[in-house]
Amino acid sequence: MGKTRGGVAAGHPQTAAAAMTVFEAGGNAFDAIAAAMLASFVTEPTLTSAAGGGFLLAHCGDRPPILYDFFTQTPREKRPVADLDFYPVDVNFGDAVQSFHVGLGAMATPGNLAGVWTVQQELGRLPFGVVAEPAIAYARDGVPLSDFQEFCINTVLAPILLERAESRRIYAPTGRLVRYGEQLVHREFAHTLAAIVSEGIDLFYRGAIADQLVADCQTHGGYLTHADLAHYQVIKRQPLRINYRGQTLLTNPPPSSGGALMAFTLQLLATAGLDTLPWGSETHLRALIRAMQLTNQARTDGYDDRIHDPTIAAEFLGADHFAPYQAALAAGLNRWGSTTHISVMDEWGNAASATTSNGEGSGYMIPGTGIMVNNMLGEADLNPQGFHAWASDRRMSSMMAPTMILTDGQPTQVFGSGGSNRIRTVLTQIVTNLVDFGDDLRTAIARPRLHWESGTLNLEPGLGEGLELSDRYTDHQLHWQAQNMFFGGVHGVERLPSGEFAGAGDDRRGGAFLP
């Protein structure tokens, strides 16, 4: 902790280091987070990619805050399912096996490159080449494989990464998958990113890279066309504003659902008196569990497939809909999540919170680029109506919820998480730890977590020990033996009254904080 130009928390030490390099070159928070996002495509390639999607919440001085939505878009045209390259792959998590769908037919229109380019061009102050240089160096020279990335590559995603020759050249250059401490090199991506610096973002969306991607989709069973790429736009939205016990929070608005669901849970907890309870007490845990249960119930009571609509979301959070669930709370007090998060603050009062993902990756890498494309059309969570039933040319919904807490209109804490369906319950616990229990951000992130979903209550060590918390809504109570990436990966930064920066990268996902 120290008084520096800024602070950054991210999912890998060298992701954070890229941001600090750009701070030292005179950049602001938006230059720094752009550098970190580009670096994460190299240092955290199992979680995110230049051809994935995400969101960035920006607070820029005295200007109104902006949510940049650069998540994936459904294709403009459909084609017969029989013509698609779309197939299941079993992924082994060690204690469970889950099936994901990959192939060119699982690819939605990518947004990450457009997002990082747009944010940096609009809010940054350095040339894009300076911002991209750390990522180019990492890709060209390699980065040592971390413990967490080795687990992701060797245990979780091996069937996808070994599927095609383009991917094997990166992840298994000697005939076996890379291991902890060995260099992970992305030389083709270094050349691609250098070309984008020289030629601009149109190289990916309208130029030679687009030509290659579209040709392969047409020939080998994908949906994407030139129109999908050329017409992709980053959407700027007004953030969802939440008041929780006198504190103002900003987070991701509809059409993504994570922010609205977190807001509903926090509304429930606002009158639960958590600040009067000992942290980890039975009453505290039961309040959290019941609020999660009631949020799930409220979501499935006619809102599950419509909450992406801003008007419907406002109705969902409205007093008439909310009151019965609040009364119910007063009366009765396992999935992958391939997502990463970066939080940045600077000395000028700027703050940025970005969550990005590549799903599990489609297995297809655009030849010659080093870029693996997402498999968002093959993610069951993102396709609740079933695969290939999506509406054409729509921004896909997500649980991602980059978040800030404001004090006197200025950001004091910036955070977010990966973790699929757990993102909203993880961030709810971070907020209550900060607001109700007075934690600093590092303590709030380090505390053990719980998650209730579909009749199963999951608890990390240090929570609920000696207590039987099961109720009529809970079929199973699962006590984990160690903190785990299942419970998200919260990377956050806060600015102290002294002007110093503090924070934490979540150990559950190999995170790092640098001031």
- Catalytic positions are 339
- Residue 455: count other Cβ atoms within 10 Å of its Cβ: 11
Distance CA 73, CA 484 (A): 31
Distance CA 414, CA 515 (A): 14
Angle (deg, nearest 10), helices 282-300 and 258-269: 130
3-state secondary structure of 433: helix
Q: Where are the beta strands (DSSP E) in 351-437?
A: 351-357, 365-366, 371-372, 403-407, 410-415, 417-418
Tokens of 277: 């309870």
Nearest to 49 by CA among 311, 370, 288, 323: 370
Q: How far is CA 120 from CA 37, 87, 202, 225, in A?
A: 11, 37, 15, 27
Angle (deg, nearest 10), helices 187-199 and 128-141: 160
Q: How far is CA 294 from CA 18, 21, 98, 328, 425, in A?
A: 41, 45, 27, 8, 12
Q: Where are the beta strands (DSSP E) in 84-124?
A: 87-92, 97-102
Angle at 278 between CA 275 and CA 284, to 5 degrees: 75
Nearest to 88 by CA among 74, 75, 105: 105
* Contact predicate 209/368, CB 8 Å: no
- Supply φ then ψ for residue 410, to 5 degrees: -115, 145
Q: Name residue 216's amino acid.
A: D
Evaluate the omega torsion of the peptide bond into residue 255 and state whether it is cis, within 30 degrees of 0: yes
- The enclosing H or E element of 299 equals helix 282-300
Distance CA 340, CA 338 (A): 7
Angle at 406 between CA 53 and CA 117, to 5 degrees: 30
Helices (H), 301-411: 310-316, 319-331
